[in-house]
Amino acid sequence: MKKYLLLLILMVPMIISAQTQVPPGPVSGTWDLAGSPYMVNGEIYIDETATLEIEPGVEVRFKGWYKFIVNGSLRAVGTATDSILFTADDTTNRWHGLKFLNTVETSYIDYCIFEYGLTILDNQPQSFPDNAGAGILIYDSPLALITVKHSYFFNNLAYLAAGIGSYNNNTLIDSCKFIGNNTPAGGNGAGIYVMGGSYSSPMIKNCEFRNNSSGHRAGGVMSWACRPVISKSVFINNSCSQVGGAIFIGVTTDFTISDCQIVNNTAMHGGGIYLSEATGDCINNTIACNTVSNSGGGIYFYETTYQGLVPLLKNNIIYFNTASNNQGGHQVCLTTMNDDPDFHYCNIQGGLDGFGGIGSGTNFSGDYENCIDGDPLFADPVNHDYNITWENYPWVDTTKSPCIDSGNSMFPDPDGTIIDIGANYFHQQLDIPVMKPPDTNFIGQDHFLAEWTNCFGALGYYLDVALDDAFANMVYENIQVNGDTVFLVEELGCQTAYYYRVRSYNTALTSPNSNNILVVTDDCVSVNENNIDELEIFSSQNRIYIKINENLSSSGSILVYNTAGQLLTQQQIHSGSNTIDPKVTDQIIFAKVILEGKFYQQKLLVK
């Protein structure tokens, strides 16, 4: 046994250091974890008719500045806990990136890491397409379905598209991160560069772009002569030396930027977004705290009334952006007389006074409808938390962001309320109340006390009472109870079964119904409430007075409750006059008298 144990111990270093040498030329089949890392010693490629599958956890290390060309199909699918790594074995010399060239096949890239890619040799950019896509390049593959998801692009350097480049392809890039990628002087698209072609309608969604830097245009995403959709993505601390700190879009009549957070980016022009001969839609974005050394702190427009169309900006926050050129528009720069975008339901700092450039002021002829100007009340912009806030929700006061419920009422937020302005909506939570079982101390011939739990987000409640559990035969409907969680239901029939339920509400929402509760009022002969000769009860000057018929010799008791069902006091009473101190003032109380096996209950206001 000891010999076998020793053999296993000696084998461990061999297993850990196992690696597979990959010579230049074609590759296919499966690269499994047992053969990892795969050491690439020259340019490799997947043939047009071949497929390579790479398993989770595999490392692919390039021993020099070599390309990995895909003419066929690649399936590199890792997991959330076991990514596939593409990297340079020597991070000084780097590698040349993954290149999909003229392919018609389907490929999947999922949970992969691309780092230390390079498209510049001896400080000189290569010719296109070799100068593009230090992480991934998808080139002239209009019929190929290529999906890149849940992948991480870090510290790649390219003249064009340091992270991902796509030309003439409907690439889907979903849930990826682009961190610390760069292009040199004159370079474009530090994160992603999507380029033209009749089939170019790339989709970029749920992505994060942070600390990327471009030597010319687009620290985050650049689009040229195609129809991009950029949605639900975050752009933070990206920069470029010229135009488009986060996003640059040029030469298109159809683009969409929606539900994006574009903050703390820097450029010379267009700290957040730069649009050049481009028209499309900017919807539900937060464009804030971007900075430029010249014009257009938030958005820069250049010749954007394009082919008879104008950009539409709807439900955007454009706030706290700054421009060194005060005439160039801190929030918006309309560079030419041919820039007349439409603004609907936007929150823009300074309103039209936040616009600059030749196309602003009296030269602006675009729509400016239902727009506001108010501090968005961001949660913590110093730490990049640009959620809008409502500290005293649901009470409508100065702590409510003006962006809440201020968008186009035709489009609700996920919580069912009117859409908020900006990328991050304020979730208006409203709990569903729970009915409590009835307290027998508060059940009478013609009344009972309904009680339920207090609900977060509620300003009040609607109470229903019916004769059936389907609530088809209503006795009371939508009794409005403001700010309390109890209600005395009166004027009912004796010895009758009633069902009741409640809903919470506030200024924007009404909850579903609570659970149903069954209560049966007291027997018609068990309580003698109307025989004033036996009993009279009333309140005056902070006291409760009870007069009992002198002919009744037996004593009884009185119990006094507040509206929350708490017992305030209890004491014996006798025939004749009795005085009770309920120890409260200016409150509604319930006095229950038990006498000769019967009880009498009355609602009183103590003053």
Mean pLDDT per segment of 10 residues, for the chain of length 607 residues? Answer: 38 57 98 97 97 98 97 98 97 94 96 96 77 95 94 97 95 97 96 85 97 98 96 98 98 96 98 97 98 97 92 98 91 96 98 95 96 98 95 95 94 92 96 93 90 94 96 96 91 93 94 95 62 67 78 74 72 83 79 71 75
- Phi and psi at residue 465, in whole multiples of 5°? -130, 130
Beta carbons within 8 Å of 528's beta carbon, 6+ residues apart: 534, 535, 598, 600
Secondary structure (H, E, C), 216-283: EECCCEEEECCCCEEECCEEECCEECCECCCEEEEEECCCEEECCEEECCEEEECCCEEEEEECCEEE
Q: In angstroms, rounded to a whole number, what is the distance separating the alpha carbons of residues 138 and 182?
A: 19
Instruction: State the pLDDT at residue 12.
Output: 41
Instruction: State the pLDDT at residue 441.
Output: 82
Tokens (6 digits) for 283? 């919807």
Amino acid symbol at 32: D
Secondary structure (H, E, C), 409-455: CCCECCCCCECCCCCCCCCCCCCCCCECCCCHHHECCCCEEEEECCC
Task: Identify the H or E element spanning 134.
Answer: none
Q: In angstroms, rounded to a whole number, what is the distance separating the alpha carbons of residues 372 and 315?
A: 10
Q: In angstroms, rounded to a whole number, what is the distance separating the alpha carbons of residues 12 and 120?
A: 40
Beta carbons within 8 Å of 284's beta carbon, 6+ residues apart: 258, 259, 314, 315, 316, 407, 419, 421, 422, 423
Instruction: State the pLDDT at residue 530.
Output: 41
Instruction: State the pLDDT at residue 597.
Output: 61
Q: Is 135 left (phi over 0), alpha (psi -120 to 50) or beta?
A: alpha
Tokens (6 digits) for 288? 């804030």
Helices and strands, counts by H and E, the chain: 1, 62
Which string of b and e fits 196-213 if b means at least 16 CB within 10 Å? bbebbbbbbbebbbbebb
Whole-angstrom CA distances from 76 to 107, 141, 272, 341, 447 are 8, 18, 34, 43, 71
Q: Is 475 left (phi over 0), alpha (psi -120 to 50) or beta?
A: alpha
Q: In angstroms, rounded to a whole number, what is the distance separating the alpha carbons of residues 54 and 75?
A: 6
Q: Are 223 and 249 in contact (CB under 8 A)?
A: yes
Q: Are 70 and 43 in contact (CB under 8 A)?
A: no
- CA 318 remoteness from chain centre: 18
Q: In angstroms, rounded to a whole number, what is the distance separating the alpha carbons of residues 341 and 280?
A: 10
pTM of the model: 0.82
DSSP structure string for 40-85: E-S-EEE-TT-EEEE-TT-EEEESSS--EEESSEEEEE--SSS-EE
Q: In angstroms, rounded to a whole number, what is the distance separating the alpha carbons of residues 49 and 51?
A: 7
Q: In angstroms, rounded to a whole number, what is the distance separating the alpha carbons of residues 469 and 492?
A: 17
Measuring CA to CA, which residue among 585, 575, 581, 583 is closest to residue 607? 585
What SS3 class is residue 210? strand
What SS3 class is residue 92? coil
Q: In angstroms, rounded to a whole number, what is the distance separating the alpha carbons of residues 135 and 153?
A: 7
Tokens (6 digits) for 433? 């109340």
Measuring CA to CA, which residue among 212, 209, 171 is closest to residue 188? 212
